[in-house]
């Protein structure tokens, strides 16, 4: 199979309406709230997600029209393979964020730990399960020097 | 935009060649090894990923032709919304697994914590970053009763 067709199941409404001022990861600006608006036919799929503290959102990096194989991440000026960085300019343009669930109302899921731009097309929501998705003894390559001991790097907010 | 076209960037070669005997999550059978074979044009994208201990694989649940809005997870007989379970039978059929990187050779990435079936089309590889992807104080809804205190449930291997 050489091509796969997917479709947005909803849209992310975010206070970030341009690339400026978005944190590189939502945890760096923890108080900002956004929401997912699902197409009505998917609303029932949210049943029982309100009992989870976190969710994984998969979405389409719709503002990128580049598919790079290597690139410089925002945090430093070294070149790395695209699969060692989290750039939007990647094959298939699928974005992934772990977010904190605040509440669910009808077809809307409100969350914090936001790092998506407004109007981002949503592809999937998965419940975040600590036993499946958290890991101990993690080493994070070129990122460790920027993030170790919980420090927040200087270049976390895109200006 | 109503349709998005994506394409496999490679394939996952797994010892699981039918749904039977696959663990519901790879950590339940930690010693099994599989590998990703990237299309040659993406091999350079792996540069520096070998310095990371874990990766997130996104792939296509190519064996599923159902898009359910609610479903029963493997672990229990209660019905939940599709966004509160990790079933393959979901909108857009995108799978996500955190895996442990063993080694990288050319266009091949060898890993453990395998829960994909052989010949699964790969969509993306992201470096796993503890600070972005791990969370403390997680509650996991209906799953907590099955997994709490690190216990491994009886129904973890699909027979």
Q: Which ranges of A7-157 does DSSP label H, i.e. alpha helix?
A: 130-133, 144-147
Partner B contacted by A64 (CB < 8 A): no
- Rounded distance, CA B8 to CA A77, Å? 29
The structural domains of chain B, ordered by start, are 10-150 (2.40.30.70)
Tell me the chain B residues in contact with residue A6 when contact means C-beta distances shorter than 8 Å: 3-6, 92-94
Residue of A99, A132, A150 for testing the chain B interface, max B β-carbons within 10 Å: A132
Q: How many CA atoms lie within 13 A of A91 on its CB side?
A: 27
- Rounded distance, CA A122 to CA B91, Å? 11
CA B16 to chain A, closest CA, distance in angstroms equals 19
Q: Contact B69/A150, CB-based, under 8 Å? A: no
- Rounded distance, CA B11 to CA A152, Å? 36
Partner B contacted by A81 (CB < 8 A): yes
Q: CB within 8 A of A79, min separation 6: which ones?
A: A70, A71, A72, B47
- Rounded distance, CA B9 to CA B14, Å? 16
CA B9 to chain A, closest CA, distance in angstroms equals 8
DSSP letter string, B91-114: GGGEEEEEEEEEEEETTEEEEES-
CA B39 to chain A, closest CA, distance in angstroms equals 12
Q: From the DSSP assignment, how many helices (H) and strands (E) are in chain A?
A: 2, 9
Residue A28 DSSP symbol: G
ipTM: 0.93
Query: For B122-156, how does the pLDDT look when each residue is reduced to its tens digit (9 = 90+)?
Result: 999 999 999 899 998 999 999 999 887 666 666 66
- Rounded distance, CA A154 to CA B121, Å? 38
Q: What are the tokens at B93?
A: 């059929």
Task: Identify which of A81, A133, A14 has the alpha carbon closest to the alpha carbon of residue B56.
Answer: A133
Q: CB within 8 A of A151, min separation 6: which ones?
A: none
Residue B45, pLDDT above cutoff 60 = yes
Residue B1, pLDDT above cutoff 60 = no
Q: The pTM is what?
A: 0.94
Interface of B with A in 100-119 (CB under 8 A): none
Confidence band for B17, pLDDT divided at 50, 70 and 90: confident
Question: Average pLDDT over chain B, rounded to whole?
Answer: 91
- Tell me what pLDDT residue A100 has: 96
Confidence band for B11, pLDDT divided at 50, 70 and 90: very high
Partner A contacted by B42 (CB < 8 A): yes
Partner A contacted by B8 (CB < 8 A): yes
Provide block-wise average pLDDT over 10 residues at a time, chain A (159 residues). Answer: 91 86 74 95 98 98 95 92 96 97 98 94 97 92 84 62
Partner B contacted by A88 (CB < 8 A): no
Q: Contact B128/A147, CB-based, under 8 Å? A: no
Partner A contacted by B89 (CB < 8 A): no
In angstroms, the Cα distances linking B157 to A119, B34, B82, B88, B115 are 40, 17, 21, 16, 10
Q: What are the tokens at A109?
A: 């899921």
Is B127 within 8 Å of B58 (Cβ atoms)? no
In angstroms, the Cα distances linking B146 to A129, A131, B73 are 11, 11, 12
Q: Contact A6/B138, CB-based, under 8 Å? A: no
Query: For B65-99, how does the pLDDT look when each residue is reduced to its tens digit (9 = 90+)?
Result: 999 999 999 888 999 999 999 999 999 999 999 99
Q: What are the tokens at A143?
A: 């990122």
């Amino acid at each position: 199979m050489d091509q796969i067709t997917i479709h947005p199941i909803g849209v992310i409404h975010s206070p970030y309406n341009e690339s400026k001022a978005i944190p590189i990861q939502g945890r760096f600006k923890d108080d900002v709230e956004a929401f997912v608006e699902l197409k009505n036919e998917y609303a029932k799929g949210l049943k029982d997600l309100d009992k989870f503290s976190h969710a994984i959102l998969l979405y389409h990096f719709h503002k990128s029209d580049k598919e790079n194989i290597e690139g410089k991440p925002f945090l430093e000026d070294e070149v790395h393979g695209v699969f060692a960085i989290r750039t939007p300019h990647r094959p298939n343009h699928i974005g992934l964020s772990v977010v904190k669930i605040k509440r669910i109302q009808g077809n809307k899921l409100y969350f914090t730990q936001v790092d998506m731009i407004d109007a981002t097309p949503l592809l999937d929501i998965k419940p975040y399960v600590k036993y499946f998705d958290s890991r101990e003894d993690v080493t994070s390559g070129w990122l460790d020097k920027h993030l170790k001991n919980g420090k927040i790097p200087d270049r976390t907010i895109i200006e």
